[in-house]
C-alpha cells in the first residue's frame, strides 16, 4: 500500500508531463481514477488505477455558460450556489460532462423581475457577458405572465401603443394572450417592476411571472431548479 499523493504528482510520474500540463489534463476532465473522472489536481490517490485519455489536450477548459430555470423569488447568490453536477437537467446530460471548474468564476447577468421565475444566465465567457450587458437595450426578453381579473376594453391595443398608469407613462410593449389566463410579453431591457405595472394598468393582477427567453436563447425543457449548458449554436 503506497502513501497517498496528489493526483497531479501521480500523473507526472506516469506520463512525464510538467506540473502545469498535469493540472490542465486533470482540470479538463481527461484523467480517470479507477474509471471515474477526477478533475481536482489535489485529489489524493494511492494504489488506484490512474489513466490519461488518449485524446487529452493540455489546454485550459473552454469557458461555459449555464442556463438555470430558477424558482420564483430565488436570489442570484442562492441560484449560483444551486449549480452543481447533480442539478444538471437529465435531458441535457449528453451535451457536456460537468466539471468542477465549470462552477467557478461565474458571473450572473440579466436579473429577473421581482418574484419571477425562469431563465437566469451565468457565464465564464467575457464575450457573452459583454453582449448581455453592453447590448442589454437591444436584446429582447420574453416573459409568460399568469394573471387574474378582467382586462379593460382594448387592453392589448393599449399595451401595444403605450399608456399612462398612475401618472406614469408606460412604453409600448409586445403583448399577446397565450391562453385565457396567461399573457406573453416581449420587451427589451425591462425595468424592475414594469410587467406588474403593465398588468395593473389594464385591470389585471399578476399571479406569476416566468422569463422564457433572452434574445435567441430560450430555457427550453429544463425543470425548475435545474440547468443546462448554452450550446455553441445558440446566440443571444
Q: Which residues contact 162 (CB under 8 A, 6 or more apart)?
A: 169, 170, 171, 172
Ordered structural domains, the chain, with CATH: 5-52 (3.10.290.10), 65-137+216-229 (3.30.70), 140-214 (3.30.70.1560)
Residues 113-135 have a mean pLDDT of 94
55 CB neighbour count, 10 Å cutoff: 6
Residues 43-68 have a mean pLDDT of 92
> How far apart, in whole angstroms, are the C-alpha atoms of residue 16 and residue 33?
18
Q: Is 130 left (phi over 0), alpha (psi -120 to 50) or beta?
A: alpha
> Helices 19-27 & 7-15, crossing angle to 10 degrees?
110
Residues 49-58: tens digit of each pLDDT: 999 999 899 9
pLDDT-based confidence at 60, cuts 50/70/90?
A: confident
Residues 181-196: tens digit of each pLDDT: 999 999 999 999 999 9
Residues 145-166 have a mean pLDDT of 94
Q: Cβ(151)–Cβ(203) under 8 Å?
A: yes
pLDDT of residue 32: 94
Evaluate if residue 27 carries a pLDDT over 70. Answer: yes
Longest dimension (CA), the chain: 81
pLDDT-based confidence at 97, cuts 50/70/90?
A: confident
Q: Cβ(76)–Cβ(111) under 8 Å?
A: yes
Three-point CA angle 200, 204, 208, nearest 5°: 95
pLDDT of residue 100: 84
Q: What percent of the chain has pLDDT over 70?
A: 99
For the chain, give the mean pLDDT.
Answer: 93
For the entire predicted model, the pTM comes to 0.82
pLDDT-based confidence at 101, cuts 50/70/90?
A: confident
- Closest to 218 in 3D by CA, of 205, 206, 236: 236
Q: Which residues contact 39 (CB under 8 A, 6 or more apart)?
A: 26, 27, 28, 29, 31, 99, 100, 101
Evaluate if residue 133 carries a pLDDT over 80. Answer: yes
Amino acid at each position: 500500500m503506497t502513501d497517498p499523493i496528489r493526483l497531479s504528482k501521480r500523473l507526472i510520474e506516469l506520463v512525464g508531463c510538467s506540473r502545469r500540463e498535469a493540472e490542465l489534463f486533470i482540470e479538463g476532465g481527461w484523467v480517470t481514477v479507477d474509471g471515474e473522472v477526477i478533475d481536482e489536481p489535489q485529489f489524493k490517490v494511492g494504489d488506484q488505477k490512474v489513466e490519461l485519455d488518449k485524446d487529452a489536450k493540455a489546454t485550459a477548459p473552454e469557458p461555459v455558460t449555464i442556463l438555470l430555470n430558477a424558482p420564483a423569488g430565488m436570489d442570484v447568490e442562492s441560484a449560483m450556489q444551486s449549480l452543481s453536477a447533480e442539478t444538471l437537467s437529465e435531458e441535457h446530460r449528453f451535451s457536456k460532462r460537468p466539471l468542477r471548474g465549470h462552477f467557478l468564476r461565474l458571473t450572473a447577468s440579466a436579473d429577473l423581475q421581482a418574484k419571477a421565475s425562469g431563465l437566469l444566465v451565468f457565464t465564464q465567457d467575457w464575450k457573452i457577458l459583454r453582449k448581455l450587458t453592453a447590448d442589454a437595450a437591444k436584446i429582447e426578453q420574453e416573459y409568460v405572465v399568469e394573471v387574474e381579473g378582467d382586462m379593460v376594453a382594448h387592453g392589448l391595443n393599449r399595451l401595444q401603443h403605450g399608456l399612462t398608469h398612475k401618472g406614469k407613462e408606460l412604453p409600448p410593449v409586445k403583448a399577446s394572450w397565450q391562453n385565457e389566463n396567461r399573457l406573453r410579453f416581449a420587451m427589451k431591457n425591462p425595468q424592475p417592476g414594469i410587467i406588474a405595472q403593465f398588468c395593473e394598468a389594464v385591470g389585471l393582477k399578476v399571479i406569476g411571472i416566468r422569463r422564457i427567453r433572452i434574445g435567441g436563447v430560450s430555457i427550453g425543457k429544463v425543470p425548475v431548479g435545474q440547468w443546462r449548458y448554452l450550446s455553441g449554436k445558440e446566440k443571444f
